[in-house]
Structure 1
Amino acid sequence: MLFDHDGVLVDTEFWYYKAGERALADIGLTLDKDQYLSDMNQGMGTWAQARAAGVDEQTIDRQRKVRDDYYQEYLRTEAIEIEGVVETLAELSDHVRMAIVTTAKRRDFEIIHEKRQIRQFMEFVLVREDYKLAKPHPEPYLAGLKRLEATKEETLVVEDSLRGLNSAVAAGIDCAVIHNDFTKAHDFSQASHRIGSLSELKDIILGATRLPALPRGPLAGP
């Protein structure tokens, strides 16, 4: 299994939005949430609205750093756990090999997981610095598949956004989409599965007949 990260394993997407909203407010702009969600769906984000308002690139570069600082502040101070994630991963780890393929930056990812238990179940993590082209391009999940040394047919991607789903579909990998309030209006018609919580993955993976447990051994590093 190849997991997306933000919105799937940790509840961070709201705080990323709030950080961008705060960074734009610093220069007198209001971030329209609906437009932001639409822009994010196309691989853009906060700065599309800034450019549309005529903000110059030097100011955008400065405020991007400000946004990143705000976001890291939220990551350190806000509750971003999703109930049941660790327990579900622990049960799945007996039966499937798992990894994370995320657009999160390495520093943000490290802050999130300084004191959390999620990484222990993953064979590796691919962050934004580990590949050239971001989702919805297939490169992130193709890179994950290669690192996992698995076939497309035996792998499942878990996502929460259309951008991520499109990346998985373009890579030729089945995708389960988990409900997220930030992305609930997206068109997920190409998803192989729609689930309300991560715990439902157990039914998809284990099915009526439980799979044999995987042999235990040391996991690879990130």
Structure 2
Amino acid sequence: MVKAILWDNDGVLVDTEHLYYKACREVLLRYNISFDEERYIDLFLRKSEGLLAILHENGLTEKLDTAQNWRNKRYSELLLDGIGAIGGVTDTLEILKSRVQMGIVTSCKRAHFDLIHSKTEVLKFFDFVLAREDYFNSKPDPEPYLEAMRRNHLKPNECIVVEDSPRGLQSANAAGLRCVVIPRGMTVGLNFDGAWMRLKQVADLIPVVESLQNSEKG
């Protein structure tokens, strides 16, 4: 039985990836390190290695805390201009809200998450949110999704996950969950082997949920 949908945030509900990349690129330029989009996709969206890997390569591991603090501050500044929900998200959430429990499971820091959703008006559709501070190991580790299920008394066969990145897919799969991927922007050309289903847009999730629930009734 499908009782819950667990949503990723960045790239699924809101289009923020380009801003996070911009903040990372700017902080690395402070250390005279060039950083292109292809490298960002590999280290942040496939592997989740982030700034540590780049600074380590350049013998600057001791600069990690400073670099992360500056990156986080810059990202907050970029978010102040306002972020809207991705097209089709609000209408889809409104339809699904009455049919299943819904939560957000994100690697986004709570402060950034709150800034992002200060103007999106989508949080009213969700029953719970897990941000980066709510667990120890981030995606691709399964802990975020395992913790979401533990807190909300859910079983893997009762949930569907919606993700847009390989590391998110890996996290969901490792937690024993069915993962629907909806690639967007930087993640469109990436490998999503192991996904339960791949959709073109978020609205396509509605008939998927309807079909599952109808088959369960039958």
What TM-score do you get using the length of structure 2 for normalisation? 0.90
Match of 1:100 in 2: 104
Q: Which has the higher contact order (CA 8 A, sep 6+)?
A: 2
Using the TM superposition, name which of 38-47 and 192-201 deviates more: 38-47
**CA distances 1:62-105 after superposition (whole Å, capped 9, x unpaired):** 12111111111111115443111111101110111100000000
- The reply to whether residue 5 of structure 1 matches residue 17 of structure 2 is no
Aligned-residue offset at 1:136: 1.0
The partner residue of 1:18 within 18, 22, 37 is 22
Match of 1:181 in 2: 185
- Is the Cα contact below 8 Å between 1:31 and 1:46 reproduced in 2? no
Match of 1:55 in 2: 60
Distance 1:172 1:163, change over 3 A: same
Using the TM superposition, name which of 181-190 and 201-210 deviates more: 201-210
Q: Which amino acid aligns with 2:89?
A: V
SS of the residue corresponding to residue 98 of structure 1 reads strand
- Quote the Cα distance in structure 2 between the aligned partners of 1:81 and 1:28: 34
Distance 1:163 1:86, change over 3 A: same
- Is the Cα contact below 8 Å between 2:140 and 2:170 reproduced in 1? yes
Using the TM superposition, name which of 69-78 and 103-112 deviates more: 69-78
Aligned-residue offset at 1:36: 2.1
Match of 1:218 in 2: none
- Quote the Cα distance in structure 1 between the aligned partners of 2:149 and 2:83: 31
Distance 1:24 1:54, change over 3 A: same
The partner residue of 2:113 within 109, 115, 120 is 109
Q: Which amino acid aligns with 2:162?
A: V
Match of 1:216 in 2: none
Distance 1:139 1:88, change over 3 A: same
Equivalence map 1:132-143=2 (5 Å):
132-143=136-147
- Quote the Cα distance in structure 1 between the aligned partners of 2:66 and 2:34: 17
Match of 1:42 in 2: 47
Gaps of 5+ in 1: 212-222
- Is the Cα contact below 8 Å between 1:105 and 1:127 reproduced in 2? yes
**CA distances 1:126-158 after superposition (whole Å, capped 9, x unpaired):** 001101111111111011112232221121000
Aligned-residue offset at 1:186: 2.5
- Quote the Cα distance in structure 1 between the aligned partners of 2:53 and 2:143: 23
Number of residue pairs the alignment of both structures matches: 210
Gaps of 5+ in 2: none
- Quote the Cα distance in structure 2 between the aligned partners of 1:44 and 1:163: 10
The partner residue of 2:34 within 19, 30, 35 is 30
Distance 1:137 1:56, change over 3 A: closer
- Is the Cα contact below 8 Å between 1:100 and 1:122 reproduced in 2? yes
- Quote the Cα distance in structure 2 between the aligned partners of 1:112 and 1:209: 32
What TM-score do you get using the length of structure 1 for normalisation? 0.89
Using the TM superposition, name which of 45-54 and 138-147 deviates more: 45-54
Match of 1:220 in 2: none
Using the TM superposition, name which of 124-133 and 181-190 deviates more: 181-190
